Amino acid sequence: MRAARLAVAVLMALSAPAFAVEVDGRIDPAEWQGAQHVTDFRQVQPLSLAPGSQPTEAWILSTPEGLAIAFRNVQPASVPRTRQRVQRDFEDQVDRVNLMVDFDGDGRTGYNFTIASTGGVADAVITNENQFNDDWDGNWKHAVSEEGDTWSVEMLIPWYIAPMHKADGDRRKMKIYLDRVIGSSGERSAWPTASFERPRFLSDFKEVEMAQYSQSLIALTPYVSGLYDNINGDSDFDGGVDIFWKPNGQFQATATINPDFGQVESDDLVVNFSATETFISDKRPFFTENQGIFEYTTPSDFSQLLYTRRIGAPADDGNGAGDITAAVKLNGSLGGTKYGVFAADEADEVGRSFYALRMVRDFASQNLGMMVTQVERPYFDREATVLGIDHNWRPTQRWNIQTRVFGSKIDDAGDSFSDTGATVWADYEMDHGWRQQWIAMHFGNDLEINDAGYLSRNSTNYVHWEVKRRFTDLPADSRYSSKDWRARISSDHNDHGDDLGSQFRLSREGRLRNGSYEYAQINVNGPGYDDLLTRGNGLVKLPANFNAYFEYQRPRKGRWSHTLEAELLTGGLAGNDKIGWSLSYEPTYFISDAFSLYAGFYADDTPDWLLWERDNLIGSFRGREWHINAGVTWNIDDRQELRVKLQSLAIDAQLKQAYRVDVAGNAIPSEDPIEDFSLSNLGFQIRYRYEIAPLSYLYVVYGRGGFDRQEFSDGAGHLLRDSFELRDDEQLLVKFSYRFEL
């Protein structure tokens, strides 16, 4: 009897699907038995929907360890294969494959996993149908192999990578998109035929049903860091821990205690003289982990209700950055509702407290969400609360409509005020490549979301209509594989009824058969008022103006790649009477597939640059600006990289005329003294990174920088040379972090 039972067990084991996949890049038919096999890959760049020029096949399999995906890509010698090694979250034009998956299938949040033919990886979160954010890094397995005219990929995405709805029974429905990009031509072929060039992308993924599995995980990532300040001659040591806990598919928690946000990344140099704030993305691991649930954006550039760079930003008393003591984030689902809870606290009496609650619910062709944020700022005796409702509706395959309604309530040192905002974004897909788009935005005068979020300006009433036409059936002898023309008219008024200007825009996007990319745009702007320049001290009447912009990107061919941007523009009080220009060029030279150098420049000349001095006094300057961007990228091996980054910036401004602005917005010449000025800025970083284990790193970073402003004109070229002598900051940072999975 025992022998019979053993024989039956052996037969059952031999006939059962092979659930375990060894991720080695070699597609073993026995391992992929029972997988869904995909062969119908069609071109989505260009968006012709013709079969891919090179055969591609893929396999999809649910295993207890995670979602397993395999690609086999045919690429004969007649199609050049890119051998370039790339950094994590690369954007280089190389041979690669993508898995994009919406684990809940509701079109709300997706995850992108990219593997290059040389083994490099990238990952990103997808929100708002087609918005990618590559700040997030996940822990997943991947491998690449080559054999003859094919190269193959295997990847395994663990089930704990993201929170998911509870499945019905032992089967789970999710939506998947697979694509393959040929680096030498830029051709992208995909299954299904969804495209992020369309307004609907995430919701057009293919629904797939598979076996349901769940994984639990506890991960601890402690860190230690040491910093030596070579200017002040002192040092600092610190330590902390990030905690990740996912007991099941419906809940996960992340927390950080005494996080270290030492400068292992290098933000680009920015000198901002405008009345609006510069947006900077957040790459800090705790704030990027499963942050997609908190995405609440509007059509206004970069606007969002929770802008995590506020946390640990310059303290309210102006003395250094806020000291974050701890933060926690909860993500999960209850039935058909997904939720997120966020809290962060800064130390000392000047510290701020941040809170956010997010809930979303999917209803087949539409989904509905709510978000509330609150910030307590005791130093200012200020409390800011923002509540928003968002609705995404897909009534047919042709329509995609996004609606946002939100409001703020501010209690500031005994004063209380509130206001609202609303936006509608509608896209309509027609036949033969035609599309239309309508956008309307209203932000009230007293709307304030910037305590926790980001909004470049309030007090606006903006509308635009855009018509587009895509051409993909170009002749075989054309240099282009596709062209996309767009025409837009827009109008903008502030909430007092003042005309902020109207605009006509015409643009063309072109993709070339050699993988290059072109973009050209011209804006014709009508006369209007600038209500921000004087910082609340009156409007400034401006004449009509225009700008014309061109961009060209050529991917690596041989040892070189190139990026070029050029612009002609008018503006200021001179309107179209004086023309300014800007030009930037950055070539990259590849010494080898792993080692490259780049050195580029930016230069501009603005003949009528308007800057605010004080109250209603403004100056018209001739502004000239120069940048130098240079660096080295060495991908030493799969775990090590060395990066050198140099940025130098110089601005020279010569006063032409001072003006006082009258109550009607007219600029009246004034004899008020305003000085010429010049400034220099330097940023230099050498960064070595060694990946000890997944999401475990050793960083050694040397950084140097400086800033100098003078009240005289000194010539941009001379200033640029002087910038290399700046040394306000000089630091050496060593940081070690290790992820323990329990």
pLDDT in tens, 164-215: 888 888 899 999 999 999 999 999 999 999 999 998 999 999 999 999 998 9
Residue 704 lies in a domain: no
Pairing label, strands 42-45, 234-248: unpaired
* 297 and 168 within one domain: no
Mean pLDDT throughout 432-452?
97
Instruction: Work out the percent of the chain whose per-residue pLDDT is above 90.
Output: 82
Per-residue model confidence (pLDDT) at position 160: 92
| Gap between the Cα atoms of 443 and 461, Å rounded | 7
* 306 and 203 within one domain: no
Number of domains in the chain: 2
pLDDT in tens, 394-427: 999 899 999 999 999 999 999 999 999 999 999 9
Q: Is the Cβ–Cβ distance between 569 and 548 less than 8 Å?
A: yes
Per-residue model confidence (pLDDT) at position 262: 57
Residue 475 lies in a domain: no
* 201 and 316 within one domain: no
* 74 and 197 within one domain: yes
pLDDT-derived band at 11 (thresholds 50, 70, 90) equals: very low
Burial class of residue 71, CB neighbours in 10 A (0-12, 13-18, 19+): buried
Residue 716 lies in a domain: no
* 29 and 176 within one domain: yes
Residue 472 lies in a domain: no
Residue 490 lies in a domain: no
Residue 513 lies in a domain: no
- pTM for this predicted structure: 0.90
Per-residue model confidence (pLDDT) at position 712: 81
Q: Which one-letter DSSP state was computed for residue 192?
A: S
Residue 349 lies in a domain: yes
pLDDT in tens, 222-278: 999 999 999 999 999 999 999 999 998 889 999 999 887 656 777 777 888 899 999
* 195 and 287 within one domain: no
b/e per residue 281-309 (b: at least 16 CB within 10 A):
ebbbbbbbbbbbbbbbbbbbeebbbbbbe
Residue 571 lies in a domain: no
SS3 call for 720: helix
* 335 and 194 within one domain: no
Residues 6+ apart with CB under 8 A from 9: none
The residue segments making up the domain with residue 325 are 281-449
Rounded to 5 degrees, what angle do the CA atoms 176, 180, 186 make? 135
